[in-house]
């Protein structure tokens, strides 16, 4: 039986296009770039957790 590895990378306070493999002109993410070459990138995903909560207001 083949066992697949699943890795979810969840981040906060930055957009998904702020990675090197998504061709950001300034941000360099060499480790994520290596991982992305061997992985599946879900470009159209969302969460049910709302982002603008009073306890994290600036």
Over the stretch 5-28, which tens digit does the pLDDT of each residue have? 888 777 767 777 888 888 889 989
Give the confidence band of 42 by pLDDT, cuts at 50, 70, 90. Answer: confident
Average pLDDT for the chain:
78
* Confidence (pLDDT) at 25: 92
Give the confidence band of 55 by pLDDT, cuts at 50, 70, 90. Answer: low
The predicted model scores a pTM of 0.57
- HSE at residue 10, side-chain half, CA atoms within 13 A, is 5
Residue 57 has pLDDT above 60, yes or no: no
Measured distance CA(56)–CA(34) in Å, rounded:
32
**Which tokens belong to 58?**
């600036």
Buried b / exposed e over 26-55, threshold 16 CB at 10 Å, is: eeeeeebeeebeeeeeeeeeeeeeeeeeee
């Amino acid at each position: 039986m083949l066992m697949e590895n699943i890795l979810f990378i969840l981040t906060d306070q930055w957009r998904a296009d702020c990675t090197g493999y998504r061709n950001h002109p300034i941000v360099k993410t060499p480790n994520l770039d290596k991982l992305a070459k061997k992985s599946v990138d879900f470009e159209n995903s969302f969460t049910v957790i709302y982002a603008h909560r009073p306890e994290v207001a600036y």
